[in-house]
Chains A and B, each alone.
Chain A
Amino acid sequence: MTRHILKPALATAALFTASAPAVAQSLDEQVNQIFANSTGWFVNLIFSPFPGTNFPWIVAWLVVAATVFTLYFGFVQVRAFRHSISIVKGDYSDPDDAGEVSHFQALATALSGTVGLGNIAGVAVAVGIGGPGATFWMILAGLLGMASKFTECTLGVKYRNEYPDGTVSGGPMYYMTKGFAERGLPAGKPLAVLFSIFCILGAFGGGNMFQANQAHAQITNVVGDYPGWITGLVFAAIVFAVIVGGLKSIARVTEKVVPFMGVLYVLTALIIILMNFDKIGWAFGQIFDGAFTGLGVAGGMVGALIQGFKRAAFSNEAGVGSAAIAHSAVRTKEPITEGYVSLLEPFIDTVVICTMTALVIIITGQLVVDANTGNYMLNEAGSSIVTVDGNSGVALTSAAFSSAFGWFKYILAIAVILFAFSTMISWSYYGLKAWTFLFGEGQSKEMVFKVLFCVFVVIGAAANLGPVIDFSDAAIFAMAVVNITALYFLMPIVKREMKSYNARLKSGEIKKFR
């Protein structure tokens, strides 16, 4: 995911490396203050830790849900993995349906909405604070998250709305209303309304302002400081051209370049890892040792665990419900097939890409080891590991890659900007779907949302609106509270679909086309 969501204070400290523009500082401060006062309780509620620990309950909520779904569906992410790949390859697609959205396309589009800053900056923060051991827990959480995605995306397709003109609308708000009604459960509609509200807030914030803000931070890192509203206006103009002007070509270029960037990123990481092949065994040793001992990091093993779980949960959006919107438009007779396809998403996002980032940081020796104890050296505050150049967040990843290839920081800057842009486009769509669910479809109503969205791009890039961003991050995770509640009630439906599909697959009723 392109969003980089951390506990509020951490986010500000670790990632806002470029200083906030000094212009209109007093106005910003006023806005911040008013906003913080009115929304602080909500942020604190969502990100509050369990009493006596620093383990945020929202992380536990996501990981417990992922574990429940994993057990309930009998480790579907392992058993259906190969089948998922052959569905994506098109082995089960009827050639007569060519021209409809393929499983591959749905997966690629959903992925370009989730792969991004979280994979680049978030992992660096996790490893920087939790040590290499955080990687182990991140991978574990990513593997478990596959079951959450499977559940929500199956429901997203099953309960989408299909309109007479052939367009479709789907997502948690539709399975909450239709699915709950079908099972004779109450409160489907209030849940859906609540989800939609959080989704709109999350779209404006984490899916928009935060992206604009981080993109600007990256640009200033490379070209030097200049006012953020300039970046904001340029971004807003491009976003406006795409979502209001219907200028598909820009979006199409981005959607093509983003996967390319993702592949380039992984390949570069692989090359760096192979260049240091003698250290691969050592790096994995560090990851496993650190996972259970912490190797002296802040908070020890638990510290590593929290960081790993947090980054994975925040990076692949499993359980948040956004992917259910993205996947729901695929053309398939069997909703479960899209569930199978979507479970590859946390795998690619977290298990592959995040792990690459972590390995490169570890292997290139960015984390300073205390020669006396063999443990990692902590900074004076004892809150994170000392790095070679004192970097954290995106800068740490950038330094790790640049230590092998000096030019990579420019590529990384471009990648961050493109990832930010593609995430904005994706979230403008998620937000719009929630908006039309609440207010109904219609040109003028949709225009209100789209224009608002562009306004928030400028605000996000121009100011250091910490509290606003904290709030919208909280909104995204509030989506997960509502969504997972619904998933618990609806998971028997998914199980029924899965059993029926698997039986027909076995009997040969569902056949391969090639």
Chain B
Amino acid sequence: MPDKIVVGYDGSDSAERALKFAVEKAKARGGSLVVAHVLEWSPYSFLTPEEIEERHKRRREELARAEEALLKPVMDKLAKDKVPAEAAMKYGGVTDTLIAIATETGSSQIVIGRTGDREFSARIFGSVAGSLAQSAPVPVTIVP
């Protein structure tokens, strides 16, 4: 079974670094990539009546935009470089969703970029890198 690596990707600089790292890994091991984009979403947040009415429409727009502006350029580039890769795009909490994608695709590891969040908010709410490292069922690489 070819080795699969999930890489969290959101178009940021740190995500690009993570992707680059994951590409090298995949090439070296003859594995493939799962480029995962998580759209932050909680089913327990509060919405106004208008937001509820438009939610389905917005969701379609958000998915289309993420596909068009984020995933497609990356996938095209990977295809050009002959790196075998699949894309995954899901709504949810970042940590839980990345783990779910890793489990579903049978990946052997997860690669994410470090955002360098040393801010107050990260102290209170924790960072994705931290919680992923603690709860992922597969090895996690955090690319600085």
* Chain A residues within CB distance 8 Å of chain B: 90, 93, 95, 98-102, 104-106, 108-109, 112-113, 165-169, 242, 248, 251-252, 255-256, 259, 326, 329-331, 425-426, 429-430
A105 contact set on B, CB distance < 8 A: 43-47, 52
Contact of B41 among A93, A99, A169, A329 (CB under 8 A): A99
Q: How far is the CB of A164 from chain B (nearest CB, A)?
A: 10
Q: How far is the CB of B86 from chain A (nearest CB, A)?
A: 16
Q: Give the distance in Å from the alpha carbon of A109 to the alpha carbon of B12 in the complex.
A: 34
Contact of A331 among B39, B44, B48, B55 (CB under 8 A): B55
Nearest-neighbor residue (CB-CB) of B50 within chain A: A429
A330 contact set on B, CB distance < 8 A: 52
B57 contact set on A, CB distance < 8 A: 165-167
Which chain B residues in 43-76 approach chain A with CB under 8 Å?
A: 43-57, 59-60, 62-63
In this complex, how many residues of chain B approach chain A with their Cβ under 8 Å: the count is 25
Tell me which of B44, B52, B54, B56 has the highest count of chain A C-beta atoms within 10 A of its own C-beta.
Answer: B52
Nearest-neighbor residue (CB-CB) of B92 within chain A: A98
A106 contact set on B, CB distance < 8 A: 52
A98 contact set on B, CB distance < 8 A: 41, 43, 90-92
B56 touching A100, Cβ below 8 Å: yes
A429 touching B49, Cβ below 8 Å: yes
Q: How far is the CB of B78 from chain A (nearest CB, A)?
A: 24
Does B100 interact with chain A (Cβ within 8 Å)?
Answer: yes
B47 touching A255, Cβ below 8 Å: yes
Tell me which of B41, B44, B62, B92 has the highest count of chain A C-beta atoms within 10 A of its own C-beta.
Answer: B44
Q: Is the interface of B mostly helix, strand, loop or mixed?
A: helix
A329 contact set on B, CB distance < 8 A: 49, 52-53, 55
Interface CB pairs A-B, < 8 A, 30:
A98-B92, A99-B63, A100-B55, A102-B44, A104-B44, A105-B44, A105-B52, A108-B46, A109-B48, A109-B52, A112-B46, A113-B49, A166-B54, A167-B56, A242-B48, A248-B50, A248-B51, A251-B48, A251-B50, A252-B46, A256-B46, A259-B46, A326-B49, A326-B52, A329-B55, A425-B48, A425-B49, A426-B49, A429-B49, A429-B50
14 A-B pairs besides A98-B41, A429-B53 with CB distance below 8 A are: A90-B43, A98-B43, A99-B41, A99-B63, A100-B59, A105-B44, A108-B46, A109-B49, A166-B54, A251-B50, A255-B46, A329-B52, A425-B49, A429-B49
Q: Give the distance in Å from the alpha carbon of A93 to the alpha carbon of B92 in the complex.
A: 13
A104 contact set on B, CB distance < 8 A: 43-44
B53 touching A167, Cβ below 8 Å: yes
Nearest-neighbor residue (CB-CB) of A169 within chain B: B53
Task: Tell whether A102 pairs with B53 under 8 Å between CB atoms, given A109-B48, A166-B60, A425-B48.
Answer: no
Q: Give the distance in Å from the alpha carbon of A90 to the alpha carbon of B52 in the complex.
A: 17
Q: How far is the CB of B14 from chain A (nearest CB, A)?
A: 24
B51 contact set on A, CB distance < 8 A: 248, 252
Q: How far is the CB of A496 from chain B (nearest CB, A)?
A: 26
Q: Give the distance in Å from the alpha carbon of A108 to the alpha carbon of B44 in the complex.
A: 9
A167 contact set on B, CB distance < 8 A: 53-54, 56-57
A248 touching B48, Cβ below 8 Å: yes
Q: Give the distance in Å from the alpha carbon of A425 to the alpha carbon of B52 in the complex.
A: 13
Contact of A99 among B44, B52, B91 (CB under 8 A): B91
Q: Give the distance in Å from the alpha carbon of A429 to the alpha carbon of B90 in the complex.
A: 30
Q: Give the distance in Å from the alpha carbon of A248 to the alpha carbon of B50 in the complex.
A: 9
Interchain residue pairs A-B with the least CB separation, the first 3: A99-B91, A166-B57, A102-B43
Q: How far is the CB of A250 from chain B (nearest CB, A)?
A: 10
A169 contact set on B, CB distance < 8 A: 53
A109 touching B46, Cβ below 8 Å: yes
Task: Tell whether A99 pairs with B59 under 8 Å between CB atoms, given A90-B43, A93-B43, A105-B43.
Answer: yes
Nearest-neighbor residue (CB-CB) of B56 within chain A: A166
A255 touching B54, Cβ below 8 Å: no
Q: How far is the CB of B67 from chain A (nearest CB, A)?
A: 13
Which chain B residues in 9-30 approach chain A with CB under 8 Å?
A: none
Q: Give the distance in Å from the alpha carbon of A429 to the alpha carbon of B48 in the complex.
A: 9
Q: Give the distance in Å from the alpha carbon of A106 to the alpha carbon of B59 in the complex.
A: 16
B53 contact set on A, CB distance < 8 A: 167-169, 329, 429
B56 touching A109, Cβ below 8 Å: no
A101 contact set on B, CB distance < 8 A: 47, 52, 55-56
Q: How far is the CB of B141 from chain A (nearest CB, A)?
A: 25
Q: Give the distance in Å from the alpha carbon of A242 to the alpha carbon of B41 in the complex.
A: 23
Nearest-neighbor residue (CB-CB) of B38 within chain A: A98
Task: Tell whether A95 pairs with B100 under 8 Å between CB atoms, given A100-B56, A101-B55.
Answer: yes
B100 contact set on A, CB distance < 8 A: 95
Nearest-neighbor residue (CB-CB) of B63 within chain A: A99
A100 contact set on B, CB distance < 8 A: 55-56, 59
